[in-house]
Chains A and B, each alone.
Chain A
């Protein structure tokens, strides 16, 4: 008996969706086995997760608050990924955006609130964009591997913020505790309908990124470049400016997350401001097939998942890391399921085929 693989003809949207859903269920099943191994009832755990993330108005708000940075970061990451520029430096870009926004929040708190917030917004964008441009320059000039550069820059940004937190920016009034002072009222984003206005920024950015990627010349060039650098050159795309622009946007959008989280959630700058969102966003961007409309869905689902896991931590005593494990398992299954949209498996069994033929 032998297995072999043959290519499938293009499959329809319905089938594709079915395969996708199937892979999610398979992931939940495997995670369920894992939970059962820990002597927990998977159904109870899953139901608790839903209750923990959507069970009350407050919990829904908390889930949305988590979904906002995840969604925006995913959008930023998606722009780079569309170009097959593996920007896994969102963590660093968020930190640098937060850093630059915090600089204004801490030093210019006397400015009127709208003006200060606008400056902080722009500062956040610039901070992230700067952190995004550096790997883009290296990549276009010398072909330096962007994956590792962006990742290393995460650590550099992290160490930088740690340095600020323990050194020059340490709050003298915190009785020796290494933390940076809280922002003044004027540097904090207001709320609207129970959640800080970051959600409006998220919605607007989703629409903007959608139009940018699908309807604009630059977005088109980014997509072409992602498919084939050679073709892009043949079509007269300016590779340098396109890569740099894409990374300015990708990093800049992640930087905005830094601004939002510092201003609205933490109301200060801390080294933990990203909450790992920069990595989770890679998953959600990928699950959303790099399409803003699907990324909204993926980010929301993951926010539910993560919020739910932090709830079951207290309810069942399961580690918060279980969320990360579950995320990875879902991603494994979705990555693997793509195979079944492109190929089909044939099992060659001489005896079987002989039976078939003699039956004819």
Chain B
């Protein structure tokens, strides 16, 4: 191993956005043929650093060396020329084009595209890296895992030898993750280098050769996997020792407050997106919902808040059927729904408005008269800032200027402040750092103690298993089982997420 050469070196890289320093004199060295993990919390600067290596951002200062030569990377084209390709968290694919067309994008061809020749080349490449992509399929027909494989093929086809994967497992099932790891090992065998961005400790320990830990825009350390352990890595990542376990608060009551019976819904194309969904919720319970992205989570949330048209079925809240009622009536009865979409804005909050108006959004229905009252909302804003430790220049600052974590706290703070009896929350910790995650789990547990029924939709199986009383798994719009969170395993959930029905309805 001694003769390993340095494939990529980034030295003293600094980048600022407005007044925020995203990376502060960062350093990174990746050797040829290794899987190098970049570990850090959200906001540590992982993606920013990698975006500079792949030409999306341009560093304010610092140097990049590839194969020992100083290289100026000012565009993705430069990066590819130097052999660097990045697979982003949000796939850079055009939905209305086929796999092949996506691969050929921007590629120098003659006047007319010679699809046949390219296909032969691609087949060879797929064999070499053991990838499986249907070249004639439209991207909008593909699953997340398939899209990711397509992205990898695309990047390799363009000559990338250094592959950056930005949180690739966040959207995958455990089974798909194993498949991805196989591909990564194969790439390593072919003498490619892989940079793997993650904040999941177990994955990093499984796949990486070396690990560089980042924190708050700075490089903390680079370690060999064999010479470290998860506890040390966590401490380096967070900056102090943390207890990662999530507390589970015992349930207080058995009174059923919420019943969903045979809920079925269709989308605009008349495809059933929710199929005969039935479940109960009792006071002070956290019911988790697990599933592959796009299995009907969003439709379920929206249907349960009166936002999605229901074909048939009942939504009984304290005995009253709310099916077919307007969203406003759901809100006034004490049902609160918040959904953090992938871009973390867009639903529930107005980016260009300040905190006061965003809080007003959920309150103005309750006040009398035709006018809006901003004073109480402003008072609430100050209260929420204090309670959730939100960092903001002021309550009048447009919230788009806040960081992602703070924006999410504003949203959650507002939802809790409306004192709901049923709280539906989807992906509340999406993209947050560990401390904030733990804080949010605490808040949810507080509400649970008060008797609030909480429907908690998440991607991360660890948090579901740790926090919830029961976990409901949905696959393709259908419930494949409801299990006791204390007894369930990740593997079991993974299988159910893929559509295998759980026979043992223990709960």
Contact = CB atoms under 8 A, between A and B. Distances in A.
B370 A348 contact: no
A4 B59 CA distance: 11
Interface stretch (B176-184, B310-318, B358-366, B451-459): B358-366
| The 4 A-B residue pairs with the shortest CB-CB distance in the complex, in nearest-first order | A236-B328, A9-B18, A236-B327, A227-B350
Contacts, number: 74
Contact of B357 (A217, A220, A233): A220
B17 A218 contact: no
Nearest to A231: B350
Interface residues of B, number: 35
Interface residues of A, number: 26
A242 to B, nearest CB: 12
B257 interface: no
B388 interface: no
Contacts of B330: 236
B294 interface: no
B410 interface: no
A343 to B, nearest CB: 10
A227 B18 contact: no
Contacts of B351: 227-228
A4 B58 contact: yes
B214 to A, nearest CB: 22
A215 B372 contact: yes
Interface in A202-249: 215-220, 223-224, 227-228, 230-231, 233-236, 238
Given A6-B17, A10-B397, A227-B351, 16 more contacts: A7-B18, A9-B19, A215-B371, A216-B371, A218-B370, A220-B364, A220-B372, A231-B346, A231-B350, A234-B305, A234-B307, A234-B337, A235-B327, A235-B331, A236-B365, A350-B72
25 contacts: A4-B74, A7-B17, A7-B18, A10-B398, A216-B371, A217-B370, A217-B371, A220-B357, A220-B364, A224-B350, A227-B351, A227-B352, A228-B347, A231-B346, A231-B347, A234-B307, A234-B327, A234-B337, A234-B348, A235-B327, A235-B331, A235-B361, A235-B362, A236-B326, A348-B74
Given A216-B371, A228-B350, A238-B326, A8 B360 contact: no
B187 interface: no
A2 interface: yes
Contacts of B361: 224, 231, 235
B353 interface: yes
Contacts of A231: 346-350, 361
B221 to A, nearest CB: 28
A89 B307 CA distance: 32
B109 interface: no
A328 B18 CA distance: 33
A227 B398 contact: no
Contacts of A4: 58, 74
